[in-house]
Amino acid sequence: MRVLQILPELNVGGVETGTIDFAAYLVKNGHQSFVISDGGPLVRDLESGGSKHFALPVHKKSLWTMFKMVKAVRKIIRAEKIDVVHARSRVPAWIAYFACRKTNAAFITTCHGYYQGRFFSQIMGWPKFVIVPGHVIGRHMIEDFKVRPERIRCIPRSVDLSRFKLRLPRKVKGRATCTIAIVGRITPLKGHEYFLRAMAQVIRTVPYARILVIGDAPQKKKAYRDHLEQLVQRLGLRENVSFLGNRKDIPQLLAEVDVLVLSTITQESFGRVILEAQAMHVPVVATNVGGVIDIIDDERTGLLVMPKDPEAMAIQVLRLVRDKDLAQRVVQAALKKLKSKFTVEHMCSQTLRVYEELVASMNILVIKMSSIGDVVLVVPSLKALRKKFPGSNIYCVVGKASAKILQRCPYLDGLFIYDHEDRLNGWLNLVRLAGKLRRYKFDKIIDFQNNRRSHLLSYLSWPQESYGFKNGKWSFFLTYALKDYKNDIPAVRHQFQILDKLGVHYNDRYQLELWPSEKDKKYAKELLEVEWLGNCKRLVGLNISASDKWQTKNWPLEHMAKLCDLLTAQNIRIMITGTEKDRKAVNQLLLLTKAKPAVFIAKTDVLQLAALIKKCHIFITPDSAPLHIASAMKVPAIVFFGPTDPNRHLPPGKEIVVIKKELECAPCYKGRCPILTHSCMRDIQPEEVAEIVDRYMPS
């Protein structure tokens, strides 16, 4: 694996040390390691470990510089054929995110700090997986950055035990009776002021204690260091306190320390220095903040105090100074926990496993927000995607009316509902849905809807890739818009023109499917029993109409009435299906026929209808959604085609009989007959339909 880590600089610090440790681990285990930073004293250590360093100003918050760095980093990703880009800070994360978008590299972040929820920090929660050093930071990312819990990977920071070996018995310098240290950047958040006030109380009991302040202030915080030096004077600690500045010899310094104090007053993301002290058999007193509680079990592996409480801090330090047995018990318990959870080997192996999971994982979204029949037709594509990408997470956006069709689909991991019929809030709901989809970090979006709204939704969801047809309906929002495609082919094959671009190819085994529950089947059975059809041996289903938009698809009611009479004369029972809008037509039909068909208008949802159709020996319908349902339930069907073309709209199915009259005006694709004769449907005679039905009836 070829891994690129990107961070602001390689100066002394916990993030930088972790980067160096992990880079060395990658090289040692046969991987290729690359690092981008603005440079620093640790570059020599990095390169001596076998990694390659690129010096770029990825630390600057200038928008113009960041824009230029995107291109520069993308060039490196392509040249070095990087598999994973790991960002360890916010500015580098923005650069890396956009650099990765037009490459095959996977993007991941580690949240080393307790970030504020401003927009600038949101980038740390954008990757598919987010690494956090502790559970507190994990909860912070979930609650404040809306990162979905399954995207969080908790990997504690570590310490290289080979650098922190057991110290020899300490030699007392001068009159010093003990050494107490604080290690970290000198900033107000690290609580140095409270540490010094605590030390003033310790000195009253242990007047010759030696106090080390290891670390320095950033350039912008020099005034704070001056304030601390003045505080040392006021507290009378000038003879005890030494400001040592930034040091690379932390292990050697810790070898002289009796107690380490961490006095952070804000949410500490982790606290690597605690591990370093524990590795050197130094007991720790720390404030009870953030990730500290992942390391220290109070009174067992260390002592905890509340932030900004110098008195409590002083008491706990004195306990460890006075009670050597307590200090030894704490050290031994801490070392045992450290070796089991916080070693470099543990951190690096877990990180590498996350990389492997990241590269192997894929989130796919299919968009099909239209009518019931069209959603049924998308099932073969879902099955083909699942077969091609068996380990991927596949989701689908569907309309509110058709959502139930895919609720039990075994090829999906989840559904998103969009009410495209809500004309008042439709666009607002689209934007809200896009915001929700962005949290899933989709690698591929496949737009089978192919209209303006769906193409915009694809874009606003920020996938790595999006696929659809270049049809002039805002298809410029797609990353891959198919130009040369056919419209005069069946709908399922039509979809596979897009899937071909993903290496998913059509074959005849991909049929329609539906999954009624046992509850749906029971409901259908009860409906039939009410009409004395529970044990019917010769049952025909008749769908009374297509949609309101397509009145030209409907077979004349007088033909239906005559067919009912013909079938009843042959001892065949008939059930009528339809929706509430068909009630008037059904009432007219009942006046025209002598038969007594069972009427199930508006009594079922789509899966209950599927279970009901399954009880039929054959189903008769115009070109409409119930035809697709019959095909999905493997029920023979007779379908009337007039204004539409069966070559484009016939679903896959082995036992579908098409009745179509060859007329010059058909197919016209008009909702109203242009010549007012409706011959394409009127010329289909009840007798020829009855003859086909008879062939499917049991004797």
Q: Write the DSSP string, 45-93.
A: HHHHTT-EEEE--TT---HHHHHHHHHHHHHHHHHTT-SEEEE-SHHHH
Specify whether the CB–CB gap between 472 and 451 falls below 8 A.
Answer: no
Question: Which pLDDT belongs to residue 654?
Answer: 82
* Residue 354 belongs to some domain of the structure: no
Task: Give the chain's length.
Answer: 699
- Per residue, the 3-state secondary structure of 494-560, as one string, reads HHHHHHHHHCCCCCCCCCCCCCCCHHHHHHHHHHHHHCCCCCCCCEEEEECCCCHHHHHHCCCHHHH
pLDDT by residue (tens digit) across 389-404?
998 999 999 998 899 9
With a cut of 90, say whether residue 421 has pLDDT above it. Answer: no
Range of the domain at 262: 179-340
With a cut of 60, say whether residue 172 has pLDDT above it. Answer: no
* Residue 159 belongs to some domain of the structure: no
Which amino acid belongs to residue 576?
I
Last residue of a domain, one of 502, 537, 556: 502
Specify whether the CB–CB gap between 40 and 248 falls below 8 A.
Answer: no
Helices in 206-309 by DSSP H: which ranges? 222-235, 250-254, 272-279, 292-295
* Residue 194 belongs to some domain of the structure: yes
Q: Is 587 helix (H, G, I), strand (E, B) or coil?
A: helix
CATH code at position 238: 3.40.50.2000
* Residue 82 belongs to some domain of the structure: yes
**In terms of domains, do 542 and 444 share one?**
no
**In terms of domains, do 497 and 525 share one?**
no
* Residue 174 belongs to some domain of the structure: no
**In terms of domains, do 535 and 679 share one?**
yes
**In terms of domains, do 619 and 678 share one?**
yes
**In terms of domains, do 491 and 586 share one?**
no
Last residue of a domain, one of 472, 502, 532: 502
Q: In this predicted structure, which of 69-83, 170-184, 374-388, 516-530 has the lowest mean pLDDT?
A: 170-184
Specify whether the CB–CB gap between 618 and 417 falls below 8 A.
Answer: no
Question: Which pLDDT belongs to residue 177?
Answer: 80
pLDDT by residue (tens digit) across 589-634?
999 999 999 999 999 999 999 999 999 999 999 999 999 999 999 9
Q: In this predicted structure, which of 53-62, 263-272, 326-335, 459-468 has the lowest mean pLDDT?
A: 263-272
Please give the sequence-ordered ranges of beta strands (E in DSSP) within 602-691, or none if there are none.
618-622, 637-641, 656-660
Distances, alpha carbon 71 to alpha carbons 36, 74, 564, in Å = 13, 5, 71
Question: Which pLDDT belongs to residue 171?
Answer: 52
pLDDT by residue (tens digit) across 429-465?
999 999 999 999 999 999 999 999 999 999 999 999 9
477: left (phi over 0), alpha (psi -120 to 50) or beta: alpha
Q: Which residue has the higher pLDDT, 699 or 51?
A: 51
Dist. CA 212–CA 208, nearest whole Å: 13
With a cut of 60, say whether residue 530 has pLDDT above it. Answer: yes
With a cut of 70, say whether residue 167 has pLDDT above it. Answer: no
Task: For residues 331-352, give the mean pLDDT.
Answer: 91
Q: Which residue has the higher pLDDT, 163 or 682?
A: 682
**DSSP summary character for residue 236:** T
Confidence of residue 422 (pLDDT cuts 50, 70, 90): confident
- Calculated CA dihedral for residues 184, 185, 188, 192, nearest 10 degrees: 40
With a cut of 60, say whether residue 322 has pLDDT above it. Answer: yes
Question: Which pLDDT belongs to residue 225?
Answer: 92
Q: Give helix then strand counts, H and E, for the chain.
A: 27, 25
Specify whether the CB–CB gap between 593 and 556 falls below 8 A.
Answer: no
Torsion angles phi and psi, residue 150, rounded to 5: -70, -10
- For residue 77, the Cα-to-chain-centroid distance in whole angstroms is 24
pLDDT by residue (tens digit) across 181-197?
999 989 999 999 999 99
Last residue of a domain, one of 103, 120, 154: 154
Question: Which pLDDT belongs to residue 311?
Answer: 97
What order of strands is seen across the sheet that includes strand 210-214? 241-245, 210-214, 179-183, 259-262, 284-287, 303-305
With a cut of 90, say whether residue 105 has pLDDT above it. Answer: yes
Confidence of residue 166 (pLDDT cuts 50, 70, 90): low
Closest to 358 (Cα-Cα) out of 611, 105, 136, 169: 105
Dist. CA 322–CA 206, nearest whole Å: 10
Dist. CA 39–CA 53, nearest whole Å: 8
Q: Which residue has the higher pLDDT, 289 or 168?
A: 289
Task: For residues 104-133, give the mean pLDDT.
Answer: 91
Question: Is the peptide bond between 667 and the residue preceding it cis, with omega within 30 degrees of 0?
Answer: yes
Q: Residue written as tokens 């039939």?
A: 528
Q: In this predicted structure, which of 174-188, 200-214, 339-353 has the lowest mean pLDDT?
A: 174-188
**In terms of domains, do 604 and 678 share one?**
yes
**In terms of domains, do 403 and 493 share one?**
yes
Question: Which pLDDT belongs to residue 507?
Answer: 87
pLDDT by residue (tens digit) across 53-92?
999 999 999 999 999 999 999 999 999 999 999 999 999 9
**In terms of domains, do 674 and 528 share one?**
yes
Highest mean pLDDT among 138-147, 556-565, 667-676: 556-565
With a cut of 80, say whether residue 135 has pLDDT above it. Answer: yes
Residue 558, both tokens: 């007088």
Confidence of residue 11 (pLDDT cuts 50, 70, 90): confident
With a cut of 60, say whether residue 175 has pLDDT above it. Answer: no
Question: Which pLDDT belongs to residue 567?
Answer: 96
* Residue 37 belongs to some domain of the structure: yes
**In terms of domains, do 476 and 531 share one?**
no
**In terms of domains, do 190 and 241 share one?**
yes
Task: For residues 175-185, give the mean pLDDT.
Answer: 86
Averaged confidence pLDDT in the chain: 92
**In terms of domains, do 41 and 144 share one?**
yes
Question: Which pLDDT belongs to residue 14?
Answer: 78
- Exposed/middle/buried for 367, CB within 10 Å: 0-12, 13-18, 19+? buried
* Residue 549 belongs to some domain of the structure: yes
Dist. CA 37–CA 8, nearest whole Å: 5
Question: Which pLDDT belongs to residue 248?
Answer: 83
Closest to 53 (Cα-Cα) out of 4, 97, 11, 92: 4
Give the chain's domain count: 4
Question: Which pLDDT belongs to residue 239?
Answer: 92
**In terms of domains, do 568 and 599 share one?**
yes
- Indicate the helix (H) or strand (E) that contains 585: helix 583-592
- The Cβ-side half-sphere exposure at 695, using a 13 Å CA radius, reads 11
Task: For residues 360-368, give the mean pLDDT.
Answer: 95
* Residue 473 belongs to some domain of the structure: yes
Helix 557-569 and helix 583-592: axis angle, to 10°?
50
pLDDT by residue (tens digit) across 461-481?
999 999 999 999 999 999 999
With a cut of 80, say whether residue 687 has pLDDT above it. Answer: yes
Task: For residues 306-316, give the mean pLDDT.
Answer: 96
Residue 551, both tokens: 């009145």
* Share above pLDDT 70 across residues of the chain, in percent, rounded to a whole number: 98
Dist. CA 335–CA 462, nearest whole Å: 45
With a cut of 80, say whether residue 173 has pLDDT above it. Answer: no
Give the contacts of 655 (CB within 8 A, at least 6 positions apart): 634, 635, 636, 637
- Calculated CA dihedral for residues 602, 605, 610, 613, nearest 10 degrees: -10
